[in-house]
């Protein structure tokens, strides 16, 4: 396929660094190649062990010096467009990334900038910053040439900001895990330490406060009808997440004391993680702020064909095409009683779990990477076309 353009991704994390945004970016780049787009990746020096020549681990600090590093990367790669993968905590909470579109316009040739908001939480800038924090995200959105939201709630918020709605599109994220295909569930369960007669209830992802794993443990400790084992697929922390270190330590201590036996796999290779999810009886993702399509672990569990219990989305958000009671089971955030009931009900109803597996696999087609890449290519070409029309 002929080359359609060159894009420079700017991301605070990239493999071998551990983090969902880095994994997402790697999968997106792989799919973009099939559309004819050539990609390079500017990221933190912590990714220096990645031997892919497209990876430029040049950023030693996310501070004001980073703007010069970005400009150097643009010149070195001949990028037609810069695409920021924005996550609040991944850029050391420094506003340089929020100001990057404006800063790039002040030096060198004009290069358009797209930004994907993986979350719209306001960054910490300085004590009592107040509205300045919201302003930082707003400035990034209003100064970018294209804005991509990953979920309905963020899209609706972006629509409320002046001059942003007309350049905003919603493109869901895909699964960072491959399709597990046929899985020898017995062999996988044995590797996970699941005993005969145990019901394996799983969680997937990092152990951060917003994921609600402590609530899941509450619900499992209340189960009297079934012998349950909690299987945590993953269970570490992202390389750019320092804020959850105390919570992570406290939760691991509680797991060690709990009456519910547990298996914590630690980091698994993508296929092994997908096979683990597929082999579990149930996957529970009790997000404290409500489930969202920004949650890559939810999409990964659905794509693996796992029956999933998760939480009702926040007002204004949606999980389409996932449907409560069909492809997922929804409970109110923070409601341990409802979570306890959902787990017990599904563990006793194998036919319902089988139907949920089938519906989940059907819904997962919406998160196909080829579709996601095609949507991105369309955004890039629209931006470059507008630039040519005004140049």
**Segments making up each domain of the chain, as ranges:** 5-174+368-390, 185-367
What is the C-alpha separation between 322 and 313, in angstroms, rounded?
A: 11
Smallest Cα–Cα separation from 292: which of 152, 171, 175? Answer: 152
Q: What is the CA radius of gyration of the chain?
A: 21
Bridge partners (DSSP) listed for residue 204: 233
5-174+368-390 and 185-367, same CATH topology? yes
Please give the pLDDT value at position 92.
83
Report whether 70 contacts 63 (CB < 8 A). no
Report pTM.
0.88
CATH architecture of 5-174+368-390: 3-Layer(aba) Sandwich (3.40)
Residue that is written with structure tokens 């920004």 in the block: 294
Q: Would you state the pLDDT for residue 239?
A: 77
Q: Which helix (H) or strand (E) holds 50?
A: none
**Alpha-carbon dihedral sign for residues 284, 290, 293, 295:** negative
Confidence (pLDDT) at 78:
96
| Token output for 241 | 């997440």
Element housing 377 (H / E): helix 369-390
Series of mean pLDDT values for 10-residue runs along the chain (391 residues): 87 94 96 96 96 97 95 96 91 90 83 93 54 81 97 93 93 94 96 96 95 97 96 88 86 95 95 97 98 96 97 95 96 98 98 97 93 97 80 54
The yes or no reply on domain 185-367 and CATH 3.20.20.120 is no
Contact criterion met (CB below 8 Å) for 384 and 81: yes
In this structure, the number of other CB atoms found within 10 A of the CB of residue 207 comes to 22
Q: How far apart are CA 20 and CA 175, in angstroms?
A: 10
């Amino acid at each position: 396929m002929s080359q359609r353009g060159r894009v420079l991704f700017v991301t605070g994390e990239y493999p071998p660094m551990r983090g969902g945004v880095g994994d997402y970016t790697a999968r997106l780049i792989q799919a973009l190649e099939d559309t004819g787009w050539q990609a390079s990746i500017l990221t933190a020096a912590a990714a220096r062990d990645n031997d892919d020549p497209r990876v430029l681990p040049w950023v030693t600090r996310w501070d004001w010096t980073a703007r010069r590093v970005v400009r150097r990367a643009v010149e070195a790669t001949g990028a037609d467009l810069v695409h920021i993968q924005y996550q609040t905590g991944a850029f050391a909470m420094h506003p340089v990334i929020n100001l990057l579109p404006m800063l790039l316009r002040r030096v060198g040739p004009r290069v358009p900038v797209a930004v994907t908001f993986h979350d719209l939480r306001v960054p910490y800038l300085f004590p009592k910053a107040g509205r300045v924090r919201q302003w930082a995200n707003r400035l990034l959105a209003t100064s970018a040439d294209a804005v991509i939201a990953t979920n309905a709630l963020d899209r609706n918020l972006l629509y409320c900001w002046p001059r942003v709605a007309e350049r905003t599109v919603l493109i869901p994220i895909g699964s960072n895990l491959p399709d597990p295909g046929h899985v020898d569930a017995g062999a996988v369960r044995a590797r996970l330490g699941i005993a005969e007669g145990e019901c394996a209830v799983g969680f997937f992802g990092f152990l951060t406060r917003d994921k609600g794993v402590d609530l899941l443990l509450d619900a499992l400790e209340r189960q009297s009808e079934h012998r349950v084992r909690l299987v945590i697929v993953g269970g570490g922390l992202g390389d750019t997440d320092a804020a959850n270190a105390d919570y992570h330590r406290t939760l691991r201590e509680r797991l060690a004391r709990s009456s519910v036996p547990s298996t914590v796999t630690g980091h698994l290779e993508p296929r092994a993680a997908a096979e683990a999810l597929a082999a579990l009886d149930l996957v529970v993702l009790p997000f404290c702020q409500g489930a969202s399509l920004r949650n890559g672990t939810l999409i990964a569990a659905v794509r693996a064909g796992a029956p999933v219990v998760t939480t009702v989305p926040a007002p204004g958000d949606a999980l389409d095409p996932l449907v409560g009671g069909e492809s997922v089971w929804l409970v109110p955030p923070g409601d341990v009683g409802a979570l306890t009931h959902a787990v017990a009900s599904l563990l006793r109803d194998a036919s319902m779990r089988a139907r949920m597996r089938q519906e989940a696999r059907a819904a997962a087609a919406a998160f196909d990477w080829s579709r996601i890449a095609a949507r991105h290519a369309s955004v890039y070409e629209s931006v470059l076309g507008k630039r040519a029309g005004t140049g």
